[in-house]
Amino acid sequence: MNSFVPTTPVYARGNASPTASMLTPCRNSAESCSLAPASKEAMAACHRSLHKFRRGQPQSCRKLFEEGFPIDYNGDLLSPARDLGLVERQGVTWATTYRLTWLRELIVVTDHFTVRDPDRVFPLSEDESLLLARGLVVLPGDSVLDIGTGSGILALCAARKARRVVAVDVNPRALAYAQFNSALNGFGDRISFQQSDVFTEVDTDDQFDLVVSNPPVIPAPEGSGFFLHSDGGPEGVQVSETILRGVADHLSSDGRLQMLCTSWSRAENELTLLKSMPDGLARCWNCRVQELYPEPLSPIQLLLEHFSEVSSFDSWHQRIESSGFERLHYLYLELTSRNGLVSPTEPQEVCADRWNGSWARRLERLFLAYRQMDNL
């Protein structure tokens, strides 16, 4: 398999070389983030030196790669990352608009929160990806399908034990980052990547022991231009429903599904998403659902405020109201076959500083980042 590295620094739109004044966090564009091949050795050297840099300079590492600010640094541990285009250097000042997340030995490159393009690659933070990544139940030798792979984080976690992993995403930019991350973390050809709208390009004969997904789940009016990674269609369940409808065709007889999703409920509190589960699936599989953010209020008001300027807002709002929806739930959903071998564990909490624990705060942060970009 090819390895991939970003060829172009991403300080600003266009192809200008960075100057000192450009070494500030700034959005990048889809075009300026094309990824290109690099050798296995170069990727491994970069991985090693980034770990060393983080161990030796934890605060600078956090400032540069998590907070997105330039740092002054005299050493040479960032040079391999610069050779791959992940960071830029101007004298002693280093900067990047990529966000790097460390998950034990894994390093995962995503876009930064400052990127506003709809095809932005989902930045990892105090969010549900890490929760699911920690809670994945992968058995040695498993064959795994990751739907909506984004940066590839779930595929990378699964590939530690799995025999093979197939990672699909509709967004080519996400696939390029995921391939880069697979190569950076030394997974060689254990993960294969495919552009696909959910199952469309997944071979119907291909059966998986585990299907995992953290799909887009935020309800958004049509034409909102919202991030592809979060736009779950008018009710937020477009991709989740497609997964639930098709998953049985892709699971082996004792396979399982671990996914995140949202679902509305009405006054009687029944989760509407579960109604989209085909009868056969509901009969033959055990289903466990856990609410991630057990807050008394759902963040509907935040959604309404955020999308109020979108031209299709009125019809979307009317649709939500006339459906009788009262609460929007953020869920962890697990299906196991009745003869399944595995008794999955509870999804574990990620370390406290990485888990926000509040659905409303989580959404506020997503929307705030989006609005701030209008001021750039």
Ligand X SMILES: C[S@@+](CC[C@H](N)C(=O)[O-])C[C@H]1O[C@@H](n2cnc3c(N)ncnc32)[C@H](O)[C@@H]1O
What does the binding site for ligand X look like in residue numbers (CB under 6 A)? Answer: 122, 124, 129, 147-151, 153-154, 168-171, 174, 197-198, 214-216, 228-229, 239
Cβ atoms of residues 78 and 6 within 8 Å: no
Residue number, 213 or 336, with CB nearest to ligand X: 213
Residue number, 35 or 154, with CB nearest to ligand X: 154
Q: Under DSSP, is residue 210 helix (H, G, I), strand (E, B) or coil? A: strand
Question: Could you tell me the CA-to-CA distances from 17 to 13, 57, 90 in Å, in that order?
Answer: 11, 27, 10
Fill in the DSSP letter of residue 75. S
Vertex 311 angle, CA 217 and 321, to 5°: 55
Q: Under DSSP, is residue 85 helix (H, G, I), strand (E, B) or coil? A: coil
Cβ atoms of residues 68 and 113 within 8 Å: yes
- Give the shortest CB-222-to-ligand X separation in angstroms: 14
Cβ atoms of residues 42 and 132 within 8 Å: no
Residue number, 53 or 65, with CB nearest to ligand X: 65
Residue number, 97 or 151, with CB nearest to ligand X: 151
Cβ atoms of residues 109 and 43 within 8 Å: no
- Give the shortest CB-5-to-ligand X separation in angstroms: 20
Residue number, 216 or 340, with CB nearest to ligand X: 216
- Give the shortest CB-336-to-ligand X separation in angstroms: 21
- Give the shortest CB-271-to-ligand X separation in angstroms: 20
Residue number, 23 or 251, with CB nearest to ligand X: 251
Residue number, 100 or 124, with CB nearest to ligand X: 124
Strand partners, 334: 258, 288
- Give the shortest CB-242-to-ligand X separation in angstroms: 7
- Give the shortest CB-119-to-ligand X separation in angstroms: 7
- Give the shortest CB-235-to-ligand X separation in angstroms: 14
Strand partners, 88: 95
Query: Taking Cα atoms as reference points, which of 27, 35, 26 lies closest to residue 8?
Result: 35
- The CB-based long-range contact list for 59-62 (8 Å cut-off, 24+ gap) reads none
